[in-house]
């Protein structure tokens, strides 16, 4: 098997999201079409009122009133719907389109019956307007279906008026085909735009934008389960329980939202992935799904920028009379399994393995050693060139036989120098 159940579920979830996006886009299109339908009816009613011979035709008046009532009900229904439903987006336009063409065909035949003759230009315009309604519908098949009905409607009406075999008929039908082609191409472009925006929005919730773009190009295979060496970062707010005791729920959430927003942007800015938030803690990692040779360097650079951001945040909090935020950050490099987890309702891309546990334990040791950032030796050895920090201790980690050597980062270095991030090697 090339994938796992989790990946299959993620693919199904992506397909479901895509269907919902298209349905939402189709609903917005139907709302605009409903308004255009009423405008079209008003336009033709004004033209009809200029024709004195039509005012006394009760049948034509009844058909026009029926079409107007249908247009009003349709407008009400589409604006009442809170969101698009894929099944409705596929099926309902089929019935609505039949009614549209049936009514304009009937109106054209009534014109012929009362002696006004077949109004080729008027009917062609009406058919083209209805065909244009399909520009934002669920799929191209709606465009093809509407074009077929447009040609059928024009053929029936022109045949009823003895005007089927004319150069005008050939020209109008060819024009409908060309218009259908353009509407179909636009429909595909609009649908692709909606799908791309939703997919990009979903991916950028847990992937850096540049990685999300690569995933969009590669497709679902980019999130297939892998086993790979990565660098894991765990961060946690020290004394958060005591700090939050004197705060209301809203204040706590606002503080965490501000804090996590800043930290997440830093992680993503260094091509990392925000795995999850765990209370006041954050899991981030580098090396999957996008392979990075210098994942350890990027993680340490992110930790330095997180340190700087916290200093800036605390300066702001001090001006408001708020206590400072202190954090602990643990970084470790090791092999993990990465892939989609969580099932159909809440799938997420995450990592599991010993490296994750070790990074979490190292973060817990920052308080014991009075350091805000601690780095394991496996990460430290990958930091080439000048290493700004010192060895702190060899600590016992629960669940591991061998002690883990820990290094601190020079506290005077709040951030890295502004320079391009290399693909491999380089200092930090």
Radius of gyration of the chain (CA): 32
Contact 57, 112 (CB under 8 A): no
Choose from 1-5, 22-26, 231-235, 407-411 the range with maximum mean pLDDT.
Answer: 231-235
What are the structure tokens assigned to 27, written together? 């609903």
Burial of residue 291, with CB atoms counted within 10 A of its CB: 0-12 exposed, 13-18 middle, 19 or more buried: exposed
pLDDT for res 341: 73
Mean pLDDT value across residues 393-406: 84
Span 251-288, pLDDT tens digits: 899 999 999 999 999 999 999 988 889 989 999 999 98
Span 4-48, pLDDT tens digits: 444 454 455 556 667 777 888 888 889 999 999 999 888 877 776
Mean pLDDT value across residues 403-421: 63
The position carrying tokens 């309902």 is 92
Q: Which residues of 104-128 are buried (b: 16+ CB within 10 A; e: fewer)?
A: bbbbbbbbbeeebebbbebbbebbb
d(C-alpha 275, C-alpha 161), whole Å: 69
Mean pLDDT value across residues 140-155: 95
pLDDT for res 209: 64
Ordered structural domains, the chain, with CATH: 5-203 (no CATH), 224-409 (3.30.70.1230)
Task: Kindly report whether the global pTM for this prediction surpasses the value 0.95.
Answer: no
Q: Which residues of 150-172 are buried (b: 16+ CB within 10 A; e: fewer)?
A: bbebbebbbebbebeeeeebeeb
Nearest CA-CA partner of 131 in 104, 112, 163 = 104
What 3-state class would DSSP assign to 78?
helix
d(C-alpha 66, C-alpha 185), whole Å: 33
| Bridge partner residues of 65 (DSSP) | none
pLDDT for res 374: 95
Asked whether the predicted pLDDT for residue 177 surpasses 90, the reply is yes
Contact 234, 330 (CB under 8 A): yes
DSSP 8-state secondary structure symbol assigned to residue 415: S
């Amino acid at each position: 098997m090339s994938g796992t159940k989790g990946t299959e579920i993620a693919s199904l979830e992506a397909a479901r999201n895509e269907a919902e996006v298209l349905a939402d886009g189709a609903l917005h299109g139907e709302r605009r079409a409903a308004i255009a339908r009423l405008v079209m009816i008003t336009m033709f009613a004004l033209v009809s009122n200029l024709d004195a011979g039509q005012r006394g035709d009760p049948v034509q008046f009844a058909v026009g009133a029926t079409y107007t009532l249908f247009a009003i009900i349709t407008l009400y229904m589409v604006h009442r719907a809170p969101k698009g439903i894929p099944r409705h987006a596929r099926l309902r336009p089929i019935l609505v389109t039949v009614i549209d063409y049936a009514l304009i065909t009937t109106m054209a035949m009534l014109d012929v019956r009362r002696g006004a003759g077949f109004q080729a230009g008027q009917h062609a315009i009406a058919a083209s307007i209805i065909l244009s309604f399909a520009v934002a519908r669920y799929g191209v098949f709606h465009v093809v279906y509407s074009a077929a009905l447009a040609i059928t409607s024009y053929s029936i009406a022109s045949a009823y008026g003895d005007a089927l075999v004319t150069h005008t008929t050939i020209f109008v039908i060819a024009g409908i085909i060309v218009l259908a082609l353009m509407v179909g191409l636009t429909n595909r472009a609009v649908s692709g735009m909606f799908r791309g925006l939703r997919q990009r929005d979903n991916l950028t919730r847990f992937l850096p934008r540049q990685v999300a773009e690569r995933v969009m190009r590669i497709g679902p295979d980019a999130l297939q389960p892998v086993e790979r060496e990565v660098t894991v970062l765990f961060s946690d707010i020290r004394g958060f329980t005591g700090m939050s005791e004197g705060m209301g729920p809203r204040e706590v959430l606002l503080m965490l939202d501000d804090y996590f927003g800043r930290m997440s942007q830093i992680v993503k800015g260094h091509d990392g992935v925000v795995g999850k938030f765990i209370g006041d803690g954050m899991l981030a990692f580098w090396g999957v799904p996008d392979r990075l040779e210098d994942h350890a360097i990027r993680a340490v650079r992110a930790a330095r920028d997180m340190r700087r951001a916290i200093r800036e945040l605390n300066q702001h909090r001090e001006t408001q009379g708020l206590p400072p935020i202190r954090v602990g950050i643990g970084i470790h490099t090791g092999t993990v399994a990465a892939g989609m987890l969580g099932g159909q309702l809440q799938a997420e891309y995450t990592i599991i393995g010993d490296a994750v546990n070790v990074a979490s334990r190292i973060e817990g040791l920052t308080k014991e050693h009075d350091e805000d950032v601690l780095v394991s030796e496996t990460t430290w050895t990958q930091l080439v060139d000048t290493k700004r920090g010192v060895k702190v201790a060899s600590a016992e980690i629960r669940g591991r036989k061998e002690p883990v050597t820990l290094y601190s980062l020079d506290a005077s270095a709040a951030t890295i120098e502004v320079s391009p991030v290399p693909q491999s090697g380089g200092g930090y």
